[in-house]
Structure 1
Amino acid sequence: MAITDQSFLGTGWSFPPTFRRESYTVDMLVNEPDVRSSIEIILSTITGERIMLPTFGCNLQPHVFDVMNTPNVAMIQKIVNDALVFNEPRIIVESVTATPDENHGVLQINIQYTIISTNTRYNYVYPFYINEATNITT
């Protein structure tokens, strides 16, 4: 018997927040899209950025210009794993792998996770830009 009621996953504002002038409402996300949005918000928030939640986020920003060698990639994988385990109680993090692409200045962070109550597996790829300049010549 399949679980059809997924209200336990919650409802949250879309990010960035979008307001509807005609109905005076905010666009909302429900179920799996809300969890996915939460993961993206966690990964893109610097730890300490939110004053009321000082431990919320994933402190990737200091590593933007790091050399992507094996120890640094392993450290980033651990930072991402710990941030998701600590900040997103609706998921079980199965694995976090990171693959550097030096030609494009990006570190692809692949997250395999399961939503706890539905036992549904998902994959999320977060592009962490190693070189944050916009005028890079190749």
Structure 2
Amino acid sequence: MKINTDFLGIGWSFPPEFNKAEGGVTMTTDVEDINNSLLILLSTRPGERVMFPNYGCDLQEMLFKPLELTLITQMKGIIERAILYHEPRINIISIEIDTTEELEGQVLIHIDYEVRNTNTRSNVVFPFYKGEATAI
């Protein structure tokens, strides 16, 4: 029995790619579309989208704060809230923040989730860079 996944939608690939042969935009579906949506959500600041001023996850505010347990817990809460409000296709299983590369300026955000209608489990890793723009 094939599970209907039409409700997951179709979206532009991220970053956007154009297909010259077919004359259109490359599209993504199913879990790949959800992963792209999560990456966009985590990298968008609230207020960046004019028509959706509440869309986004304000991780940039925490960029230069000391990475302690309080901040990690606050980051998890912000991420969880953003996903809860803006990605209705999934249930969060866990959010883990990997700080092993902190001294190199990178924090990895691991999000394990379950697609609601299909009970398919998947994950996405978002690299949050803390480095300064010194190579300009």
Report if TM-score (shorter chain) is over 0.5. yes
Aligned to 2:52: 53
Point out 4+ residue stretches in structure 1 off by more than 6 angstroms. none
Aligned to 2:120: 120
Deviations 1:44-65 (A, max 9, x none): 1111100100011111111111
- Post-superposition offset of 1:96: 1.1
> Tell me, which stretches of 5 or more residues in structure 1 are unaligned?
none
Aligned to 1:131: 131
Aligned to 2:108: 108
SS at match of 2:126: strand
Aligned to 1:94: 93
Aligned to 2:64: 65
Aligned to 1:82: 81
Q: Determine if contact 1:45/1:56 at 8 Å carries over to the other structure.
A: yes
Aligned equivalents of 2:79 and 2:93: distance in 1? 12
Task: Give runs of aligned pairs for residues 35-46 of structure 1, distance below 5 A.
Answer: 35-46=34-45
SS at match of 2:77: helix
- Post-superposition offset of 1:23: 2.6
Is residue 12 of structure 1 aligned with residue 28 of structure 2? Answer: no
Aligned amino acid, residue 106 of structure 1: Q
- Post-superposition offset of 1:95: 1.4
- Superposition CA RMSD, Å: 1.5
Aligned equivalents of 2:132 and 2:122: distance in 1? 28
**What is the TM-score when the length of structure 2 is the normalising length?**
0.90
Aligned equivalents of 2:132 and 2:82: distance in 1? 22
**What is the TM-score when the length of structure 1 is the normalising length?**
0.89
Aligned equivalents of 1:93 and 1:102: distance in 2? 25
Aligned equivalents of 1:22 and 1:127: distance in 2? 33
Aligned to 2:24: 25
Aligned equivalents of 1:88 and 1:52: distance in 2? 17
Question: Aligned in 2, Cα 1:54/1:108: closer, same or farther, shift over 3 Å?
Answer: same
- Post-superposition offset of 1:94: 1.4
Residue identity (%): 40
